[in-house]
Chains A and B, each alone.
Chain A
Amino acid sequence: MNHQPFESWLLDDKYLSATEKRELDSHLRDCRTCSALAETGLALRSAKVISPAAGFTMRFQQRLAAQKVAERRRRLWGLIVLIVSGVGLFSWFAAPFIYAFISAPIEWLTAATGYFLFMFTSLQAFSEILRVLSRMAPGFVSPYALMVMLSTFAGLGLIWVVSIWRFSHKPQGVTA
């Protein structure tokens, strides 16, 4: 028999019959390549499992605790940087307005009052329109269509709430 099947037996760690074993032994006496393959196979199989030095778990707990402290510290610094930069950015944008308000408060107070009055009257008008529409709608829209519309709004609301819940509870970018 030529060299190839023996090499494949050794590489595949094939389970050999008694006859095959005898054939392999005879081949190993003549073939240095297969002999080296067989010897390395034996050496690999007899290699020991090495254990870590005693106290591995304790060292892990210490490392984990240190990691958690570092993580907390990183988060705190991140929050501080975020707040400071947010306040800084707001101040940068608001500075001209604050300066203008301080230099001419009456003008600003008049403008603000006008703005709030406008908002208030707009809201009043809008609610009046809605009231009129709700009185007129049953004449134009069938109760069935009204029910469909209400159900659609309720469904969309539910999808929105579920989406918010999923985004806030399930970690993103994670594969099993």
Chain B
Amino acid sequence: MSYRPRAVGCLQLLPLLAASAAPLSHLIAQHARGVLGGQTVVAGTVTDPIPGMGSRAEVRLLHPVLFSGWSAAGRWLTLRGTFNLEGWVVPGGELTLGAWGEGFIDRRHPHTYVHELLAVAEVGTHTHGRRALSLAVGKGFAPFGTDDPMMRPIFKYPVNHHLSQILERAIVVLAARTGPVAIEAGLFNGDEPDRPGQWPAIRRFADSWSIRSTLSPWPGFEAQVSRASVASPEHRPGAGLRQTKWSASTRWVRDGRTAHGYALAEWARTSEAEDQFVFTSVLAEGAIRLRQHQAYARFERTERPEEPRTGDLFRSMRPHLENSILGTTRWTIYSAGYRITFASPVRGLALGPFVEGSHGTASERGTGFFDIEGLYGRSTFWSLSAGIRLSWGTLGHRMGRYGAAVVTDDARSH
């Protein structure tokens, strides 16, 4: 059998395809909208103490993210892809005392390469206020809690990342909005990733759910309450405990020609095993920007589980062998920073040098085995970071809200 005739046939179809595609591309050019952007941070961090005592200084390329999106006319269909390259540049995670999750402790874990990849279909009207209905399908954030910390002003992630966001799941999210009220309900897989290259366990899709209601009574202000039930997030085969999660927050953003304000206050609670394990968090952060100068601060008090650590004191045993922890610790952290943003000589590239400091204390809640001073040498700590954020093109959305859940005046907080 010869394949040549078929190949020739295909080639003969090309002009036809090109002809048919031309009107479509014309249509897209007229009405559709594509966005592309990216960011990364080059930063050095000094932290004292670290697990094993002493201090550590690191310079790393961090938060490398590519954003891409395409919206059809009228936004009835949006495709979104967010790609995170941390798995390549910081496979060992980012030095962040207090951070935990996905097998890392005191280093924030790298996210998966495909951070978001989803399609959002939306129908709606703007008569008598905005009314909309949307369906998001793909990989992304479950409708729960607050925005991804990467899209917020403070450089270092908060301790509460795994209490306040549910991300990188296979999701189906239905959202409805009428005027200032939005309701989202989502189904997803409970398992969180074990490594950057891992996809959600599709066989576990719909073993977990979440619901979030958001009220946006005034421009720039919103309040949300959300609840989630997440099956075995830390054990992919599914033997882990189910988490019951709550989150409540208020968020305010004010965008002016020269001034920009942002504030967030949140409370989160995650419980397991009928409240045998309970972890809570309160967090307040804010930022103000005048022209290119931005000052920001955060207060956080968050409880985290202490898991058995491996020979690498920044890692915990994964996968888990059973449902046990060594105790619970409470992290109280004050952070503040300053950033100046300006355009670079390279067209479209913005530069944002910054300096950021944190001071905090860790304490043991209860009588668990975990001994803070035995591991760190003391219970107070500080961290200082300095670096530069580089961003290009259209930066990402808030990460965590899709379709009808997006307020039209939504803005990122950077």
Task: Please determine whether chains A and B interact with each other in the same assembly.
Answer: no
Q: List A residues at the B interface (Cβ < 8 Å).
A: none
Q: List B residues at the A interface (Cβ < 8 Å).
A: none
